[in-house]
């Protein structure tokens, strides 16, 4: 009996040892949990990053988030209300079937018919009609002029209309319905642990350099670094700022960085007569809201030493911000620079506004959402204290924080905004436009900042299809907002990756980690 | 044990205690730590909880580094420019306070509830023990998160969270031990003599359930401090501008692999020293005080 | 006996109901799941749609009533974030955690009780003192700190063990387990030890305390006087006497090992239930949290039942009829 057991155990061990040492296998450590493989289930960045490697979109983003042809070879607006997409010919799904316009039509329908929380209908609901002209031409009609159609189509994965029809979320997680046109084919998804993909040898674009890729979910930052140092993974994303300097000097490791589309900023409660967390210096509630005064808001901005935050808190892995998006994005104003640190100027503005001795305030921020979020809030609090504003800090878990912030319970609140669309209407309408339920504007305007002049420019921009005209309008709107200190930008994050020596990755502004863009050093 | 003079209970305990050199060393260390913790505002070079005294430009300096204003950071500075030495002194104060207070409260509640359950039995016991089951299966992070969301941040909320997490543990242990004791001869004798319930509970039952409880309690003070550190690690702990020892360790955690060892290591050593000394003293005290171990 | 178990079960059903109400109120107090789940690109109309889609626009008592109706039909709801039945999600992750907890408990018992016995029988010997001093380290430092230190030493510096993850699994009765192949075992060792440390220290201390007392009891003295061999005295008399508190604690600790291995699982990227719980709490995925806690309540109820039954076996003086609970 024991002998039998022993042989069994030995056999198991032996099989474990002779596991095929796969040629050219890549293992990547991811920093956030992937909750589903269904590309239309939950519109969250970690999920999208995986889905976009198995599925394609009509339009893809290049590493700087410029639009480039994906499954659509070209697109144009034939009139103010119609967009036409010419599709790529000869593309095959992983099951060998052909990709046609019917798949596009179905993929646009699907987000609206499956019941999910963070859905993809935001990309599809402007479309009132889909016209399949021929198998490789599709026209999308909208009710009002809609310039953002290409950006929206750069967010929607195309599934197979045959396989995905009626498929559930579970069918995608098991692989049954996970049939795309992308560079990788699905192998296995072990929840909370790993995702395994193999190369799609009949991919229409450049072939991946690896036969197989495994994404391991290692959400604890130091553990992810340790896994890289120990050689258990060959590449990791989201390198913690604290470890970056040391990794950079490590001879076995290469690091890759680029500016992120994510801007960290403060919302100031600027439209109410009283603000919940503003007191006099003794701690008694103030019956006036100093933040209504643009001079006080400007003083806040001047009091903040952005270079110190970048250098000390972010260890250099950030760029001081002067507007909503870093250089190179659509709608960035050439006239805006990051506010210069000027404590004397800040004190002067406070005096002018009638607060020569400052007042008391509590800053709120999350403590588990953005890179070093609670350290940033603390540093800002230090700086405000130095110009005479007695500042307290409360850092909360995001789950508690976001609900309270949405109810406008704070006086100053920190938020990070990733401009996934790569253009300025998105941050302007979400963060800065006057809050309006029917118009769907100002959804995340936590300061309830309101500037009718800016609203008018933005609304005009949202309906202008001509690119040059639209960009001008958006630049003007941004300048109005920033010069009025409607919100206070702090910095743009920097996206980071680290890999074992011998690998190269083209770093991306959109925080995606694409295995097919990891290549061995030539 | 041949000390001169009269044999008072205190002297006897003191003499027994002094038999272990390790315990004496532990006691000395504990006294030192207590002095430092209580006198933190007096012995610290800086008030680490006052944002006006901190400068971000002084952050992450190695041990011995000098601040812009010329102050020396003997143990380095943390990521906000806090003097580590001062932060550890202040942090010790909070952690010890929180750990002790939470353990005492949880012990008191657990002991009472556990004894009541074991003594009265019947539906009282059923109700109490089911509540204990519930409490034990309620995740401590969820408790902490709910408290944080509904009551806000603060030292008192952490103590409440720790008590809420730990009392059931004591209750269950006490009841287990008391059930056994209840059926032993001396209790049965006392019951048959019709002694008042309170007297039986306190004079007969309590002393006999205490030994295992004290073992757990000395461990649990340490556990409470570590749990507070874990809550901080999960973002549910102290306010970040007044860090406890646990929060310092949790903050330093992100710097463990960065080479800036002092941000995490020194608070860790302080915590270790505290807990080791508490337990050295606790172990010896328990042996000395336990009437059944008297030779 | 049967009456005892039935009554206990009935009580537990009430406990479950009570618990589900508590969690509903608790999660409601923390925040609104939609605020976290929704894509930031969504506007007010889309937020309203998603809220309605998850039934979160209903008043709380209505949501609870809905939950209760479905729960009675055996459906504890679908995860908000993963769009899967919550129970299925939890059971998928359970084997990994149970395996880890069993392994940790094994470490704790196999090392803890003998070490505690040794330290209790010869309390003044140098090795006993070393054991006791060493045991202090087990609970002095927070788990996450020790866990990362272990990774740094054994994976990064020495390269002996893999740093994180579960490694290769083998099917055993249809359940994936790690302990049947070498790769799996190497992945299992560090997290299990990390999880075991605190329990190990506790067991050493409890066993030692119990042993010291037992050694001075009349019957042990008597047995020694009678000249019984030490092995028999310890193995039969001492062990039996110290078993009650130890069994209680093992029971409790095993429950908490399974339920709350959150920190260890996070540090070692171990795909178990604890990781699922913390992820779900972070996004306020209420169906998963409710289902999780209800499953854990059941687990504790069963463990407590087993512990109480064990009491009566270990010590005939405790009769179930009397324990009644």
Residue range B193-221, pLDDT digits in tens: 777 777 777 777 777 777 667 767 777 78
Instruction: Note the Cα A131 to chain centre separation in Å.
Output: 32
Is pLDDT of C252 > 50?
yes
Residue numbers in B near C255 (CB within 8 A):
136-137
Who has greater pLDDT, C256 or A224? A224
The whole-number average pLDDT for the span A503-518 is 93
Q: What is the DSSP string of A233-275?
A: -SEEES--HHHHHHHHH-TTEEEEEEEEEEEEEEEE--S-SS-
Q: Do residues A435 and A442 make contact, with C-beta atoms less than 8 angstroms apart?
A: yes
Give per-residue pLDDT as tens, C9-32.
887 788 788 888 888 888 888 888
Q: Do residues C177 and C95 make contact, with C-beta atoms less than 8 angstroms apart?
A: yes
Structure-derived torsion over alpha carbons of residues A63, A67, A69, A75, reported in degrees to the nearest 10 = 180
Q: How confident is the model at residue C203 (pLDDT cuts 50, 70, 90)?
A: confident
pLDDT of residue A2: 52
C302 Cβ contact list (under 8 Å, min separation 6): none
Which of A466-475, B257-266, C222-231 is predicted with the least confidence, judged by mean pLDDT? Answer: C222-231
Is pLDDT of B185 > 80?
no
Decide if A395 and B79 are in contact by the 8 Å CB cutoff. Answer: no
User: How would you classify the pairing of strands A59-61 and A56-57?
Assistant: unpaired
- In DSSP terms, C170 is beta-bridged to C177
Decide if B222 and C140 are in contact by the 8 Å CB cutoff. Answer: yes
Give per-residue pLDDT as tens, A340-368.
999 999 999 999 999 999 999 999 999 98
Q: Do residues C216 and C125 make contact, with C-beta atoms less than 8 angstroms apart?
A: no
Q: H or E segment at A520?
A: strand A518-520
Closest CA to A51 of A154, A238, A184: A184
Is pLDDT of B294 > 60?
no
Q: How confident is the model at residue A139 (pLDDT cuts 50, 70, 90)?
A: very high
Q: Do residues C304 and C251 make contact, with C-beta atoms less than 8 angstroms apart?
A: yes
Q: What is the DSSP string of B224-236?
A: HHHHHHHHHHTT-
Give per-residue pLDDT as tens, C57-83.
888 888 899 888 888 888 888 888 888
Q: How confident is the model at residue A16 (pLDDT cuts 50, 70, 90)?
A: very low
Which of B54, B56, B234 faces A308 most closely, judged by CB atoms?
B56
Q: How confident is the model at residue C37 (pLDDT cuts 50, 70, 90)?
A: confident
Give per-residue pLDDT as tens, A418-464.
998 889 999 999 999 999 999 989 999 999 999 999 999 999 999 88
What are the φ and ψ backbone dihedral angles of C254, each rounded to 5 degrees? -65, -40
Q: Average model confidence (pLDDT) for chain B?
A: 81
Q: What is the DSSP string of C129-157?
A: HHHHHHHHHHHHS-HHHHHHHHIIIIIII
Residue of B25, B139, B173 for testing the chain C interface, max C β-carbons within 10 Å: B139
What are the φ and ψ backbone dihedral angles of A238, each rounded to 5 degrees? 50, 70
**DSSP label at residue A285:** B
Interface predicted TM-score of the whole assembly (ipTM), two decimals: 0.84
Who has greater pLDDT, A465 or A487? A487
| Closest approach of B171 to chain C, Cα-based (Å) | 11
As a whole number of angstroms, the distance between CA C291 and CA C283 comes to 15
Decide if C83 and A403 are in contact by the 8 Å CB cutoff. Answer: no
Residue numbers in C near A223 (CB within 8 A):
148, 151, 163-164, 266-269
* Closest residue of chain A to C161, computed from CA coordinates: A230
Coil, strand or helix: which one is C170? strand
pLDDT of residue A149: 94
Decide if A245 and B239 are in contact by the 8 Å CB cutoff. Answer: no
What are the φ and ψ backbone dihedral angles of A165, each rounded to 5 degrees? -60, 125
Q: Do residues A522 and A60 make contact, with C-beta atoms less than 8 angstroms apart?
A: no
pLDDT of residue B62: 87
Q: Do residues A343 and A303 make contact, with C-beta atoms less than 8 angstroms apart?
A: yes
**Residue A275: CA count within 13 A, CB half-sphere:** 28
pLDDT of residue A15: 45
pLDDT of residue B212: 66
- Number of neighbouring beta carbons within 10 Å of residue C180: 18
Decide if C43 and A122 are in contact by the 8 Å CB cutoff. Answer: yes
As a whole number of angstroms, the distance between CA A235 and CA A506 comes to 13
Q: Do residues A487 and A265 make contact, with C-beta atoms less than 8 angstroms apart?
A: yes
Chain A touching partners, 3 or more CB pairs below 8 A: B, C
Residue numbers in B near A225 (CB within 8 A):
257
Is pLDDT of C141 > 90?
no
Give per-residue pLDDT as tens, A150-183.
999 999 999 999 999 988 888 999 999 999 999 9
pLDDT of residue A343: 94
Total-model pTM: 0.87
Residue numbers in A near C39 (CB within 8 A):
43-44, 118-119, 122
B11-41+83-293 topology per CATH: MetI-like fold (1.10.3720)
Structure-derived torsion over alpha carbons of residues C292, C293, C296, C302, reported in degrees to the nearest 10 = -130
B284 sits in the region (left: phi over 0; alpha: psi -120 to 50; else beta) called alpha
Q: How confident is the model at residue C324 (pLDDT cuts 50, 70, 90)?
A: very low
At which residue do the structure tokens 């790690």 appear?
C178
Q: How confident is the model at residue A21 (pLDDT cuts 50, 70, 90)?
A: very low
User: How would you classify the pairing of strands A194-199 and A212-217?
Assistant: antiparallel
CA-based torsion, A40, A45, A50, A52: positive or negative: positive
As a whole number of angstroms, the distance between CA A376 and CA A367 comes to 10
Coil, strand or helix: which one is A360? strand
Coil, strand or helix: which one is A74? strand
- In DSSP terms, A417 is beta-bridged to A263
For chain B, positions 141-160, list CB contacts with chain A under 8 A.
145, 148-149, 152-153
Give per-residue pLDDT as tens, B159-174.
988 898 888 888 888 8
Is pLDDT of C248 > 80?
no
Which of A198-212, A414-428, A482-496, C246-260 is predicted with the least confidence, judged by mean pLDDT? Answer: C246-260
pLDDT of residue B186: 67
Burial A4-39 (b: 16+ CB within 10 A, else e): eeeeeeeebeeebeeeeeeeeebbbbbbbbbbbbbb
Q: Percentage of residues in chain A with pLDDT exceeding 70?
A: 95
Closest CA to B260 of A317, A246, A308, A311: A246
Closest CA to A511 of A149, A67, A48: A48
Q: Do residues A36 and A172 make contact, with C-beta atoms less than 8 angstroms apart?
A: yes
As a whole number of angstroms, the distance between CA C138 and CA B222 comes to 10
Token reading at C163: 């740093």
Q: How far is CA B222 from CA A309, A361, B274, C245, in A?
A: 36, 36, 9, 20
Q: Do residues A323 and A419 make contact, with C-beta atoms less than 8 angstroms apart?
A: no
**DSSP label at residue C164:** S
Q: How far is CA C189 from CA C102, C105, C150, C162, in A?
A: 12, 12, 11, 10
Is pLDDT of B184 > 50?
yes
Domain boundaries, chain B: 11-41+83-293
Is pLDDT of B38 > 70?
yes
- In DSSP terms, A2 is beta-bridged to none
Is pLDDT of C286 > 80?
yes
Chain B touching partners, 3 or more CB pairs below 8 A: A, C
Residue numbers in B near C256 (CB within 8 A):
136
User: How would you classify the pairing of strands A25-30 and A212-217?
Assistant: parallel
Token reading at C203: 């067991």
Token reading at B196: 């008042």
Is pLDDT of B1 > 70?
no
Q: Do residues A328 and A66 make contact, with C-beta atoms less than 8 angstroms apart?
A: no
Give per-residue pLDDT as tens, A193-251.
999 999 999 999 999 999 999 999 999 888 999 999 999 999 999 999 988 988 999 99
Token reading at B137: 């299966």
Give per-residue pLDDT as tens, A96-125.
999 999 999 999 999 888 877 667 888 998
3-class secondary structure per residue, A115-145: CCCCCCHHHHCCEEEEEEEECCEEEEEECCC
At which residue do the structure tokens 């950006």 appear?
A151
**DSSP label at residue B281:** H
Q: Do residues C122 and C213 make contact, with C-beta atoms less than 8 angstroms apart?
A: no
Who has greater pLDDT, B146 or C313? B146
Which of C32, C53, C269 faces A223 most closely, judged by CB atoms?
C269
Which of A119, A173, A399 faces C284 most closely, judged by CB atoms?
A399
Q: Do residues C58 and C66 make contact, with C-beta atoms less than 8 angstroms apart?
A: yes
pLDDT of residue B277: 86
């Amino acid at each position: 009996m024991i002998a039998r057991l022993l042989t069994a155990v030995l056999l198991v061990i032996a099989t474990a040892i002779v596991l095929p040492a796969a040629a050219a296998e890549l293992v990547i450590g991811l920093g956030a949990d992937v909750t589903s493989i269904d590309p239309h289930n939950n519109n969250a960045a970690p999920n999208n990053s995986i889905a976009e490697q198995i599925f394609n979109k009509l339009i893809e983003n290049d590493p700087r988030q410029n639009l480039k042809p994906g499954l659509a070879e070209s697109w144009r607006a034939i009139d103010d209300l119609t967009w036409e997409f010419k599709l790529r010919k000869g593309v095959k799904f992983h099951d060998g079937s052909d990709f046609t316009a019917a798949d596009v039509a179905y993929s646009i329908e699907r987000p609206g018919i499956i019941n999910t929380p963070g859905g993809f209908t935001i990309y599809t609901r402007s479309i009132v009609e889909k016209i399949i002209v021929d198998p490789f031409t599709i026209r999308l009609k909208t009710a009002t002029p809609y310039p953002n159609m290409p950006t929206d189509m750069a967010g929607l994965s195309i599934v197979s209309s045959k396989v995905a029809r009626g498929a559930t979320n579970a069918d995608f997680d098991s692989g049954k319905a996970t049939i795309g046109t992308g560079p990788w084919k699905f192998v296995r998804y072990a929840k909370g642990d790993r995702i395994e993909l193999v190369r799609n040898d009949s991919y229409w674009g450049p072939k991946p350099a690896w036969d197989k890729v495994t994404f391991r979910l290692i959400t604890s930052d130091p553990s992810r670094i340790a896994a890289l140092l120990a050689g258990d993974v060959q590449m990791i994303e989201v390198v913690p700022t604290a470890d970056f300097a040391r990794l950079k000097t490590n001879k076995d490791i290469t690091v890759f960085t680029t500016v992120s589309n994510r801007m960290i900023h403060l919302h100031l409660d600027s439209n109410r007569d009283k603000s919940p967390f503003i007191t006099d210096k003794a701690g008694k509630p103030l019956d006036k809201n100093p933040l209504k005064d643009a001079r006080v808001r400007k003083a806040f901005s001047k009091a903040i030493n952005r270079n110190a935050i970048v250098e000390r808190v972010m260890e250099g892995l950030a760029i001081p911000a002067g507007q909503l998006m870093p250089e190179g994005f659509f709608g960035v104003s050439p006239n805006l620079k990051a506010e210069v640190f000027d404590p004397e100027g800040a004190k002067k503005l406070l005096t002018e506004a009638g607060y020569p001795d400052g007042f008391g305030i509590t800053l709120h921020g999350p403590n588990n959402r953005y890179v070093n979020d609670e350290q940033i809030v603390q540093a800002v609090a230090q700086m405000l204290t130095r110009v005479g504003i007695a500042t307290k800090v409360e850092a909360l878990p995001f789950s508690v924080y976001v609900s309270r912030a949405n109810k406008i319970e704070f006086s100053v609140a920190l938020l990070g905004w990733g401009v996934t669309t790569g253009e300025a209407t998105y941050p302007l309408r979400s963060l800065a436009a006057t809050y309006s339920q029917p118009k769907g504007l100002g959804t995340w305007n936590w300061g309830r900042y309101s500037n009718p002049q800016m609203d008018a420019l933005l609304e005009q921009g949202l309906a202008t299809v001509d690119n040059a005209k639209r960009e001008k309008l958006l630049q003007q709107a941004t300048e109005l907002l920033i010069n009025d200190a409607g919100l206070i930008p702090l910095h743009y994050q920097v996206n980071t990756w680290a890999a074992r020596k011998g690998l190269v990755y083209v770093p991306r502004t959109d925080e995606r980690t694409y295995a097919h863009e990891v290549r061995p050093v030539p | 044990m041949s000390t001169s003079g009269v044999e008072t209970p205190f002297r006897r305990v003191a003499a027994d205690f002094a038999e272990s050199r390790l315990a004496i060393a532990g006691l000395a260390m504990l006294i030192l730590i207590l002095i430092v913790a209580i006198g933190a505002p007096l012995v610290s070079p800086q008030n680490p909880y006052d944002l006006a005294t901190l400068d971000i430009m002084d952050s992450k300096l190695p041990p011995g580094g000098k601040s812009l204003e010329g102050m020396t950071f003997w143990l380095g500075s943390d990521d906000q420019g806090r003097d580590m030495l001062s932060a550890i002194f202040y942090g010790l104060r909070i952690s010890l306070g929180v750990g002790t207070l939470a353990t005492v409260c949880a012990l008191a509640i657990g002991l009472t509830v556990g004894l009541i359950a074991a003594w009265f039995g019947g539906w009282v016991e059923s109700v109490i023990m089911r509540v204990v089951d519930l409490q034990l299966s309620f995740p401590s992070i969820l408790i902490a998160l709910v408290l944080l969301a509904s009551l806000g941040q603060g030292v008192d909320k952490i103590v409440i969270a720790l008590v809420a997490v730990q009392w059931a543990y004591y209750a269950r242990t006490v009841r287990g031990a008391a059930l056994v004791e209840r059926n032993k001869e001396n209790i049965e004798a006392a019951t048959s003599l019709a002694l008042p319930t309170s007297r039986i509970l306190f004079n007969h039952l309590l002393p006999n359930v205490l030994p295992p409880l004290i073992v757990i309690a000395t461990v649990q003070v340490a556990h409470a401090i570590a749990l507070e550190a874990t809550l901080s690690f999960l973002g549910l702990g102290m306010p970040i501008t007044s860090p406890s020892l646990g929060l310092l360790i949790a903050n330093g955690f992100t710097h463990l692999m960065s080479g800036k060892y002092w941000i995490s290591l020194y608070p860790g050593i302080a915590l270790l020293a505290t807990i080791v000394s508490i337990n050295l003293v606790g172990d010896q005290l328990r042996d000395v005080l336990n009437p059944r171990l008297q030779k | 006996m049967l009456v005892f178990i039935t009554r206990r079960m009935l009580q537990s059903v009430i406990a479950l109901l009570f618990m589900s109400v508590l969690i509903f109120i608790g999660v409601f107090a923390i925040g609104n799941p939609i605020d976290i789940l929704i894509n930031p690109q969504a506007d007010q109309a889309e937020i309203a749609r998603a809220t309605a889609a998850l039934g979160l626009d209903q008043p709380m008592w209505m949501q609870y009533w809905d939950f209760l109706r479905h729960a009675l039909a055996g459906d504890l709801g679908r995860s908000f974030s993963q769009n899967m039945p919550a129970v299925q999600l939890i059971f998928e992750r359970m084997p990994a955690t149970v395996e880890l907890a069993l392994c940790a408990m094994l470490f704790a018992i196999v090392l803890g009780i003998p070490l505690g016995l040794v330290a209790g029988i010869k309390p003044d010997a140098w090795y006993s003192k070393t054991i006791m001093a060493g045991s202090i380290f087990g609970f002095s430092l927070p788990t996450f700190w020790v866990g990362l230190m272990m990774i740094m030493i054994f994976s990064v510096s020495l390269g002996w063990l893999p740093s994180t993850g579960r490694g290769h699994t083998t099917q055993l009765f249809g359940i994936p387990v790690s302990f049947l192949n070498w790769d799996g075992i190497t992945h299992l060792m560090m997290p299990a030890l990390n999880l075991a440390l605190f329990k190990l220290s506790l067991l050493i201390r409890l066993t030692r305390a119990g042993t010291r007392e037992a050694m001075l009891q009349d019957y042990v003295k008597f047995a020694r006087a009678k000249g019984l061999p030490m092995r028999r005295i310890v193995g039969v008399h001492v062990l039996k006497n110290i078993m009650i508190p130890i069994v209680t604690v093992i029971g409790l600790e095993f429950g908490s090992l399974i339920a709350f291995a959150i920190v260890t699982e996070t540090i070692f990227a171990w795909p178990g239930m604890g990781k699922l719980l913390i992820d779900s709490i972070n996004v306020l995925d209420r169906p998963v949290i409710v289902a999780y806690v209800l499953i854990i309540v059941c687990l504790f109820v069963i463990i407590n039942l087993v512990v109480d039954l064990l009491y009566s076996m270990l010590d005939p003086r405790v009769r179930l009829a009397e324990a009644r609970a």
